Structure 1
Amino acid sequence: MTAPILVTGGTGTLGAHVVPLLRASGHEVRILTRHARPAADGIEHVTGDLLKGEGVEAAVDGVETVLHLAGGPKGDDEATRALVTAAARAGVRHLVYVSVIGADRVPLAWMRTKLESERAVAESGIPWTTLRAAQFHELTLTMVEKMAKLPVFPVPGGLRLQPVDSREVAARLAELALGAPSGLVPDLAGPHLHDLAALARPYLRLTGRRRPMLPVRIPGKAGRAYRAGENLAPTGAEAGKRTWEEFLAERLG
């Protein structure tokens, strides 16, 4: 019997796509979750909290591969360090982490926690793989929905995004988890560049809304980084195939 693969964040947007792929490959899956859940076919749930250090030892016990997908607005670096410490003690042989494109270039606090998490993984002593991905379509939609509730839709000048399909990121992560440790692999972004106006127009059309668009400026170092495209995939990155328009048509059409 092979060791289960531990997935943190296994019940989230990305994890919901990754776990079935791992099961389809014939692997047992263990999910670290903050809320108790019943066991499913080939899927075990361990209750715990990375930020509180609860349940982590039990989650990594007997595991050879860890796929770290859990993340939030704060504390990602602390959570990753807790996981890495427990995984190293448990003799984990492959640690796979999903990060964000631009983590090493965009001066935002959240980005810094992702970069610190990358460093914790790389310095853990465990063979590792890290994939930086662009913003998922689902997160982009949440952003556009919130902006569309305003009487005027703000369009930050110079801000461009490459939203990527979460299912394509999940497929790549499953492939990496089942392969050999590869270090920092090529980034994965969506197939097209969009400014906020281009992201908003098909959404507004599909929802039957009209909003005037107001150019705004992102101030400070973060604004300069975004205008310089530091959040965009570098040369050599991989591109997904599913477009923003296709995602919206499926979700809203």
Structure 2
Amino acid sequence: MTTILVTGGTGTLGRIVVERLRDAGEHEVRVLSRTARPYAVDLCKGGAGLDAAVAGVDTIVHCASAPNGGDEQAARNLIAAARRAGVRHLVYISIVGVDRVPLGYYRAKLAVERQVEQSGLGWTVLRATQFHDLLIRLFQALAKLPVMLVPAGVSDQPVEVAEVADRLAELALAAPAGRVEDLGGPEVRGLDDLARSYLGATGRRRPLVRLPLAGKAYRGFRSGGHLAPAHRVGKGTFDDHLATRLGAGPARGR
């Protein structure tokens, strides 16, 4: 029986990865997060708790991430512990565009990719486009104003988180594969179009205003650096997700 450790195993993506791996059977699946016992570990601090979590582990699926900072230190601590424990395979989930969009969080994710590649461990890196849930959180925040402001000229290619979890579980159960093909959602749509679907599904009425922004990161998003149109692997659309999550009918075009 192999032992697989999932970091961030209680998060949006990690908890589904854990479910998929447990459903596959014949594996011990450990969950590491800051609060999940018995492997409650702060990866940024490392320490004896981390060594105990990785002891006897064959494969690590690294889903833990902190958009507010700390990913690089967390990866250093995790990789060092994995080396000490003789871990065979490290699987890392990254984001499409980390090498093309100069956003601070993306730079950190790219730096972690480099750490994984240079770790001396067997490794696999999967990049995915943004999850549907991220767009919903964005639109929830933007819809609080009487007028809904969306960045002008920006498109997105959201993907269903469960489909990314399926792919990560598949990769975790296979041999190290290096950088694998990106996983993108099925549609590339303008943010304003996606926002209209959200408003229609939630019954909100807001005028939409396309707001030009400044900066290198915005230019990177406008140029589509975060998109993977050649890798429309996902099946579930944003409208499908809205219908499932909100119980709404077809939202597009409302």
Shorter-normalised TM range: over 0.9
Provide the residue aligned with 2:57 in structure 1: 63
User: Any conservation in 2 of the 1:95–1:126 contact (CA below 8 Å)?
Assistant: yes
Provide the residue aligned with 1:99 in structure 2: 94
Aligned residue type for 2:14: G
Give distance in 2, aligned partners of 1:239 and 1:36.
32
Provide the residue aligned with 2:43 in structure 1: 50
Q: Secondary structure at the match of 1:242?
A: coil
Provide the residue aligned with 2:28 in structure 1: 28
Provide the residue aligned with 1:153 in structure 2: 148
How far the C-alpha of 1:78 sits from its partner, in A, is 1.2
Pairing partner for 1:247 from 235, 241, 244: 241
Give distance in 2, aligned partners of 1:168 and 1:200.
22
Aligned residue type for 2:18: V
The residue correspondences of 1:160-171 to structure 2 (distance < 5 A) are 160-171=155-166
Aligned residue type for 1:49: D
Structure 1 unaligned residues grouped into runs of 5+? 38-44
Count of residue pairs the alignment pairs up: 244
**1:122-170 residue CA offsets vs partner (Å, 9 max, x unmatched):** 0000010000011111111111111111111112112111000000000
User: Any conservation in 2 of the 1:65–1:92 contact (CA below 8 Å)?
Assistant: yes
The answer on 1:115 being equivalent to 2:115 is no
The answer on 1:126 being equivalent to 2:121 is yes
Aligned residue type for 1:156: P
Q: Secondary structure at the match of 1:4?
A: strand
How far the C-alpha of 1:228 sits from its partner, in A, is 1.0
List, as ranges, runs of 4+ consecutive aligned residues in structure 1 with deviation greater than 4 Å.
none
Q: Secondary structure at the match of 2:39?
A: strand
How far the C-alpha of 1:36 sits from its partner, in A, is 4.1
Q: Secondary structure at the match of 2:56?
A: coil
RMSD, matched Cα: 1.2
Aligned residue type for 1:215: R
User: Any conservation in 2 of the 1:144–1:199 contact (CA below 8 Å)?
Assistant: no
Provide the residue aligned with 2:223 in structure 1: 228
How far the C-alpha of 1:3 sits from its partner, in A, is 3.2
The answer on 1:184 being equivalent to 2:183 is no
How far the C-alpha of 1:226 sits from its partner, in A, is 1.2
Pairing partner for 2:197 from 187, 194, 202: 202
How far the C-alpha of 1:234 sits from its partner, in A, is 5.8
Give distance in 2, aligned partners of 1:170 and 1:228.
28
TM-score, normalising length from structure 1?
0.93
User: Any conservation in 1 of the 2:187–2:232 contact (CA below 8 Å)?
Assistant: no
Aligned residue type for 2:6: V
Give distance in 1, aligned partners of 2:204 and 2:234.
29
Give distance in 2, aligned partners of 1:234 and 1:123.
29
Provide the residue aligned with 1:193 in structure 2: 188
Aligned residue type for 1:62: G
Give distance in 2, aligned partners of 1:98 and 1:162.
17
Aligned residue type for 2:4: I
Provide the residue aligned with 1:9 in structure 2: 8
